[in-house]
Amino acid sequence: MNLNRFGKAFFVTVSATAITGLTLTACGSDNNSGSSSTNASGSSSAATDCGGKNALTAEGSTAQQNAIAVFNQVWGQKCPGKNLSYNPTGSGAGVTQFIAGQVDFAGSDSALSKDQTDPAAKRCGGNPAWNLPLVFGPVALGYNLPGVDNLVVNADVLAKIFTGAITNWNDPAIAALNSGASLPDQKITPIYRSDSSGTTDNFQKYLGAAAPQTWTKGAGKEFQGGAGEGAQKTAGVVQAVQATPGAIGYVEKGFADQAKLTVAQIDNGGGPVALTDDTTKAAIDSAKISGTGNDLVLDLNALYSTKAAGAYPLMLATYEIVCSKGYPADTSAAVRSFLTVAANDGQAGLPAAGYVPLPDSFKQRLLTAVKAIQ
């Protein structure tokens, strides 16, 4: 795991044996190409190209760090000797380091912004950088309210909490969503990410899509709400929620599960929806690709604003930001190898880590883009 016993994130180089939840048989040959194997779900996978350099570097999203650990473990088993060193510093820092040429690719919970597109292309030798969605992750609303085990919120209430318009847990707007529950006369402390964060960007985009009349603050990797207390990185939000009676914060499901946070249900307009594997799978059917060619930027507005019964709307898509061209040959080959394994065999281990596997509707487009990386 990438958390210490206090819930704080730290930098690790994840080895092929770091995750033991999958039991793939490592295979390889003298030509450095992995052979067919059986993945964790019992299905057969095609031969893997294990070309390129043995060591890759990446940096960025804390939301996807446990997914990257799963992918790296599988890559090392499919291609013995291969390893990715991933530094979970946050989406903003990861993109900055990628643009600076300090890492081979970045992990980000948001696609490149307009002002990042040209610098990223310059880093790639004048070639576009691509945004490749690799896995979906639900965002949990962890809260610290002893005695309230089934809290229900909606986008309008969340927007008011994170702008300071609602400040107490027994506010009538919250009580209306929690009929029969005994809500305490207690101050609400919203906890937000104080570092540049793709999770923040997705959370604010969700509020803007689902409660546009209330959330007028916009989106972006920096928190715009103006209320609450900031905490560094995902683990910092978890720790702050745990330590602060009356707190509520947004944090990726895998980390909420690890910390055993109590999480809220979201009423999307079609009734309260608990955060489960089934409700997140129901939601991602609404996500669409808006990018062109092999730049697979997603349009998540339909997902965020869904009113479908049983669909959990607060999701993020984690991207790998890669050069379409411009890598040294041994780097491009290794990036293709890692991402191909991640999109195929690596997906089987994601549910246990708190993620939602890539929808089949996206998988082939993703693999086509990965194959085109040069």
Detail the residues annotated as belonging to a binding site for phosphate.
61-63, 91, 109, 197-199
Residue 296 near residue 288, CB atoms below 8 Å:
no
Q: C-alpha angle 190/193/196, rounded to 5°?
A: 150
Q: Whole-angstrom Cα distance, residue 184 to residue 180? A: 13
- The terminus-to-terminus CA distance of the chain in angstroms comes to 32
Residue 114 near residue 329, CB atoms below 8 Å:
no
> Is 10 buried (19+), middle (13-18) or exposed (0-12) by CB count in 10 A?
exposed
Residue 370 near residue 340, CB atoms below 8 Å:
yes
Q: Whole-angstrom Cα distance, residue 273 to residue 161? A: 19
Residue 177 near residue 267, CB atoms below 8 Å:
yes
Q: Whole-angstrom Cα distance, residue 235 to residue 255? A: 7
Q: Which residues are annotated as a binding site?
A: 61-63, 91, 109, 197-199
Least Cα distance to 249 among 197, 209, 291, 213 occurs for 197
Sheet of 272-273: strand order equals 152-153, 265-267, 272-273
Q: Give 298-346 as a DSSP string.
A: EE-HHHHT---TT----EEEEEEEEESS-S-HHHHHHHHHHHHHHHTGG
Q: What 3-state class would DSSP assign to 17?
A: coil
H-run or E-run covering 189:
strand 189-193
